[in-house]
Amino acid sequence: MPTRREFCVSLAGAAATAMLPDTLPTMFESPIEPYRSDRPMLELQQEFVDLRFGMFLHFNMATFQNREWGDPTGPTETFDPTHLNTDQWADAAVAAGMGYACITPKHHDGFCIWPTKTKSASVFQTPKKLDVFKSFVESFRKRGLKVGFHFSILDLRQDIRRFDVTPAKIQLIKDQLTELLTEYGEISIVIFDGWDAPWSRISYTEVPFHEIYAHVKKLQPNCLVSELNASKYPAAGLYYSDIKAFEQNAGQHIPGGNSIPAQSCVTLTDGWFWKQGDEDRPLKSVKEVVEDWLEPQNEIHCNLILNAPPTTEGVIAPNVVQRLIEIGKARKAHGKTKRFGPSIIITTQNLATGQPIYASSCSDTVGPDEANDGNFGSAWHPDSGKTDGWLEIRFKKPVTFNTVGFVEPSGSSDDYAESRIARYQFQVWTDGKWKDLVTGERPHPVQLHSVKETRTSRLRLSLRGSRDDFRIADIGVYFEPM
């Protein structure tokens, strides 16, 4: 008969399992076809970080409605730039010393600034029928700048939102991405938004991340993917992103010792889209942009992408252009950016989430389920005074995987500034005994390992702490296309 402690420890895992749908283990039961790339990922990431500075261009229906999110019920003829001049945008980017630019062909309201052949509302239904996206890419390429775009998965016009995603809507997303990635030449980066975010709540299961990711890579193998999900996933890991994205306007901060390729998004004006009266409002200062953001971030593998929103006329306002010129003059000469090593990119669902989980011990009110509940803000730790312990996942049915890891909440608070784990070991249950899978010491906050393809029904993570209050926020088990 189990002891009270053993019963409580196992009960927490069972309760978490009962609350979650039985879909996660079966989503990737069969191997996913890997995408092909023309060049090594590390090379593409380093090339992107070497661009250092980019221009963000929020220009869509919201521009003409004086809003941050466009009204999805508004008439399409509202979108009517009177003097569209994308050459002027590109000239301003060059003056600021920028190396790339990203525009918003579809924002959260779902209006498309290219003449899409899908059923979505677009510039095709506007007075001038301007293909703004085409004009953008041509102007910036002429000046030697790389181009990319921001694409919202949340789509209020087509009602692509949580609990209302259908196969047809997923196909619509793919069809729109196909147009943008096949009809306009080389795209260096796609920034996804409105996806697995606390405010949009569309999960990577509802709109399956790897399907969209693989679709992008199939169309343009060298196109990087950047997901605006840093509010939900650990800052030190490339979760569902080739390039980590931090939205500083939303209070997201780049870790001081950042060692992964990243970009930070800020806006020169108060909001992302141009508003009436912005020509008279203060802009971010040159010092703030250059000395506080751009140059320090470049030292830790993080680009700055600065939003300079065009007006309803379709031009960048004189005060914004002047500030960009001043920023360009204030930038210091610099050499090559620092090199960084390869990082494992997670693109598939965590097979451990919601599975029955057990522990060697845990403190009162703390259960092992806090290490596989899909919430990086919760964490398991062993009973007081213990410097070692283990967590064991017993899958409902055997799973196949090739990547394992864990997240320790290092840096999440002032009193947990660095790792408290001295040694760790992953093992799998095979032929009636535990078999070693991977062992390590002094882990990073996000510790991931590629391993030989393995199938098992039990996985154990054994830990030895450098002190008695170490914590595990998440155990990761993935079947990644390699």
- Within a domain: residue 392? yes
Asked whether residue 262 falls in the same domain as residue 368, the answer is: no
**CA-to-CA distance for 43 and 45, rounded, in angstroms?**
5
404: domain CATH number is: 2.60.120.260
Asked whether residue 264 falls in the same domain as residue 366, the answer is: no
The residues, any chain, with a CB within 8 Å of residue 30's CB and separated by 6 or more, are none
- How does DSSP classify residue 380? B
| Backbone phi, psi, residue 375, to 5° | -115, 110
- Within a domain: residue 318? yes
Asked whether residue 311 falls in the same domain as residue 369, the answer is: no
Low-confidence ranges of the chain (pLDDT < 50): 1-31
Range of the domain at 419: 4-29+348-478
Q: What are the helix (H) ranges across 97-249? A: 132-142, 167-182, 209-219
**CA-to-CA distance for 380 and 362, rounded, in angstroms?**
7
- Write down how long the chain is: 482
**CA-to-CA distance for 284 and 343, rounded, in angstroms?**
33
- Within a domain: residue 290? yes
> ∠ at Cα 459 (458, 463), nearest 5°?
145
Asked whether residue 144 falls in the same domain as residue 234, the answer is: yes
Asked whether residue 174 falls in the same domain as residue 239, the answer is: yes
- How does DSSP classify residue 355? S
- Within a domain: residue 322? yes
- Within a domain: residue 450? yes
Asked whether residue 368 falls in the same domain as residue 229, the answer is: no
Q: Which of 330, 359, 393 is the last residue of a domain?
A: 330
Supply the pLDDT for residue 5: 37
Supply the pLDDT for residue 335: 66
Supply the pLDDT for residue 469: 87
| Backbone phi, psi, residue 185, to 5° | 80, -165
Asked whether residue 396 falls in the same domain as residue 306, the answer is: no
Tokens, residue 468: 């008695």
> ∠ at Cα 251 (246, 256), nearest 5°?
60
Asked whether residue 225 falls in the same domain as residue 108, the answer is: yes
Asked whether residue 190 falls in the same domain as residue 304, the answer is: yes
**CA-to-CA distance for 57 and 133, rounded, in angstroms?**
11
End-to-end alpha carbon distance in the chain: 44
The residues, any chain, with a CB within 8 Å of residue 17's CB and separated by 6 or more, are 354, 355, 356, 396
User: Total domain count for the chain?
Assistant: 2
Q: Which of 274, 300, 330 is the last residue of a domain?
A: 330
Q: Tell me if 151 sits within 8 A of 108, measured CB to CB.
A: no
- Within a domain: residue 343? no
175: domain CATH number is: 3.20.20.80
Asked whether residue 154 falls in the same domain as residue 46, the answer is: yes
Count of alpha carbons within 13 angstroms of residue 147, beta-carbon side: 24
Q: Which of 266, 300, 330 is the last residue of a domain?
A: 330
Residue 215: other Cβ atoms inside 10 A: 17
**CA-to-CA distance for 114 and 131, rounded, in angstroms?**
5
Tokens, residue 424: 């760790």
Supply the pLDDT for residue 22: 36
- Within a domain: residue 337? no
Asked whether residue 446 falls in the same domain as residue 362, the answer is: yes
Asked whether residue 287 falls in the same domain as residue 432, the answer is: no
Q: Tell me if 388 sits within 8 A of 462, measured CB to CB.
A: yes
- Within a domain: residue 264? yes
